[in-house]
Chains A and B, each alone.
Chain A
Amino acid sequence: MIKVQEQDFDIGAELASLTDGNKAVGGLGCFVGLVRDMANDEQISSMTLEHYPGMTEKQLTTIEAEARDRWPLQDVLIIHRYGRLEPGDRIVLVATTSAHREAALESCHFLIDWLKTKAPFWKLEESDSGENWVAARNSDDDAADRWDRAK
């Protein structure tokens, strides 16, 4: 399931709803991304996430299908926020459930690596020195490419 939303999410409630009533699930893997307070040795006051409505949902749906194709998953949940966030705020939740831990943990790692480089979001950080667009990192490309090779 894909949710692209401005509002916050309740981690506990979201994870519970993913497993409630499904006794075939033996493991749940999850990752929560948060806004850090420092970037390039500067104090961040806010981070505004811009996205491409329509394409975002399309890309996330494709990424979910890819994960389900690679691992035997019971369920997939991706919640990605947009709009203005502050340090400590939750940005993204990725959770996967499976009969066993390997599929749940590996697919969760795969999904967050892919989101970094293939989900159409852009981050604008605000600090005392002004506004700064967060640049994509080569290490994120490398992390995503690793899964291409593993395919």
Chain B
Amino acid sequence: MQLLYFGWVRTKIGTSRETLDPPAEITDVRGLVEWLKQRGDGYQEALQDLETIRVAVNQDMADLDAAVTPGDEVALFPPMTGG
């Protein structure tokens, strides 16, 4: 699974992208985020408040209940500030 991070999610986690192989029981975004939080303090800090996290699965906006599968591109980021 391709993970992408932007904005302060990226700076707190310390990388902009990585390829990870979550366990098979991870089937939705919520489960994925909880699993990521176990990976270290940076992840824990970046993802502690889910209210402030936005998610895209395969470049489409998704919510925490959205399904994820091993081939997906999942991006986690703060609320967008375009314009």
Indicate whether A72 reaches chain B with its CB closer than 8 angstroms: no
Indicate whether A90 reaches chain B with its CB closer than 8 angstroms: no
Closest approach, in angstroms, between the C-beta of B54 and any C-beta of chain A? 9
Question: What are 15 A-B contacts with C-beta separation under 8 Å?
Answer: A51-B6, A52-B6, A52-B56, A55-B59, A55-B60, A58-B59, A112-B83, A115-B83, A116-B82, A117-B80, A119-B80, A119-B82, A120-B6, A120-B80, A120-B82
Interface of chain B, helix or strand or loop or mixed? mixed
CB of B80 within 8 A of CB of A118, answer: yes
Out of A92, A112, A136, name the residue touching B78 (CB < 8 Å): A136
How many A-B residue contacts, CB cutoff 8 Å?
Answer: 71
A57: nearest chain-B partner, CB-CB:
B59
Q: Which residues of B contact A136 (CB under 8 A)?
A: 78-81
Question: What residues make up the interface of B, taking CB atoms closer than 8 Å to A?
Answer: 4, 6-8, 10-11, 56, 59-61, 75, 77-83
Proximity string of chain A (107-133) to chain B, C-beta cutoff 8 Å, 1 when within and 0 when not: 000001001111111111000000001
Closest approach, in angstroms, between the C-beta of A144 and any C-beta of chain B? 10
Q: Which residues of A contact B10 (CB under 8 A)?
A: 50
Q: Which residues of A contact B75 (CB under 8 A)?
A: 52, 55, 120
Q: Which residues of B contact A134 (CB under 8 A)?
A: 81
CB of B82 within 8 A of CB of A50, answer: no
Proximity string of chain A (78-90) to chain B, C-beta cutoff 8 Å, 1 when within and 0 when not: 0010000000000
Indicate whether A104 reaches chain B with its CB closer than 8 angstroms: no
CA distance A103 to B77 in the complex (A): 34
**The 6 nearest A-B residue pairs measured at CB:** A119-B82, A136-B79, A122-B7, A55-B59, A115-B83, A121-B82
CA distance A15 to B60 in the complex (A): 31
